[in-house]
Structure 1
Amino acid sequence: MATRYYLSLPDSNAARGDEPSLSFTAQGGDAFAEQLQEALRHDALFERWRLMQDEPDEVDPTLGATDPQATVAGKQHDLHIDLVVTTSLPGDVLKHRLRLLAGRHWQLRDVTAA
């Protein structure tokens, strides 16, 4: 069952993770949405992160789950960006990907059934 997450990036310039090679590079609402959608549909971001860990084989494999049907829509308001994510992935997986991409510079506004 899919869930819809309403997210906010209060300052798109600050929406970067701690590791530059894993973080958002986007400029603009559509680009942020595209990069997050890619991170949810495919495991490339997760795999890059996993291989950076001290013990990659001990990383919880459930964090690498993907949803090929995930969609993300983005809308920009000055520096503020709203994202609407529709996915069947668990919230923990979504949060992990967001931490990699945006660090702590995002907010969960609401969650509804899709």
Structure 2
Amino acid sequence: MAGKNHGYCIIKGRVENLAEIQEMIDSGRKGDIIRTMMHKYGLKPIDAYMFAELVFEKGIPANYDAILEQRDFEVSQRKSCLVHCPRCGSINVEEMVYAPLPYIRREYWYCNRCHYEFDK
């Protein structure tokens, strides 16, 4: 629905008229969009930057909150697939191999945070 909502967009639970943003898009002022989204609409810098990238590619979205929710969901899904330490929960782990002899081999994970070793 981007670009087809006449400049209205849901941001932080409110319907906002982004006519001024459309003017910035038309004149190619990406930096001004980022600053406006941060200062006037209270977006975090990364979210304001993502908004600016999105509007230049697809136009003003009808619901930016939904786009941020989808992004956060996808990030959490990726993080949940990462190996994490069963003791402290850290994802700062690395795969280790202990092979003192050719016929002795142990593969395990090592937590760089709490120094716990755990099996794969």
Structure 1 length-normalised TM: 0.28
More helix by share: 2
Instruction: Point out the structure with max Rg over C-alpha.
Output: 2
Structure 2 length-normalised TM: 0.27
Which has the bigger relative contact order, CA under 8 A and spacing at least 6?
1
